[in-house]
Amino acid sequence: MESQDLKKAGLKATLPRLKILKFLEASQVRHMSAEDVYKAMLENGDEVGLATIYRVLTQFEAAGLVTRHHFDEGHSMFELNQGSHHDHILCVKCGRVDEFMDPVIEEQQHKIAEAKGYEMTDHALYIYGICPNCRKSGKK
């Protein structure tokens, strides 16, 4: 029962919030913009106002249900928090997104923050490149 998840997160269990949460859980695509969610839900017959999508995703982020990424400038990408923390490697040709987690990098980041006197709160790491498929097909 997803309404329990929302209550636990301190959010009233409204129909739009339930629909959005269900949609994210059912989606095959793990990383989506607000607009992506809006359009995909429309096609599913679940119409929720775009402003509400933005509001709810921001609330989900604050509640720790989703994570916001900035793969490229222009728009935020959202991802339901299911697995554990990971970073992303992105194809600059086709937009494919893969995930990875590197304990060495994670640890180095903390060391760097410490060396600079910072109290680290977050980090973002994006590797850009050409994915295996695009390399094969020689897209330009």
Partner DNA sequence: GTTGGAAATGCGAAACTCTATCATTTCACT
Partner DNA sequence: AGTGAAATGATAGAGTTTCGCATTTCCAAC
> Residue 1: which of a second copy, Zn ion, DNA, none does it interact with, CB under 5 to 8 A by kind?
none
Cα within 13 Å of Cα(85), Cβ side? 9
8 A C-beta contact, residue 101 and residue 85: yes
Residue of 51, 95, 125, 137 interacting with a second copy (CB under 8 A):
125
First and final CA of the chain: distance in angstroms?
A: 47
Q: Does 90 bind Zn ion (CB under 5 A)?
A: no
Distance CA 1, CA 88 (A): 31
Contacts with DNA, residue ranges (CB under 7 A)? 3, 7, 11-17, 33-35, 47-52, 54-56, 58, 73-76
Contact residues toward a second copy (CB under 8 A) are 70, 72-73, 76, 89, 91-92, 98, 100, 102, 104-105, 108-109, 112-113, 115-132, 135
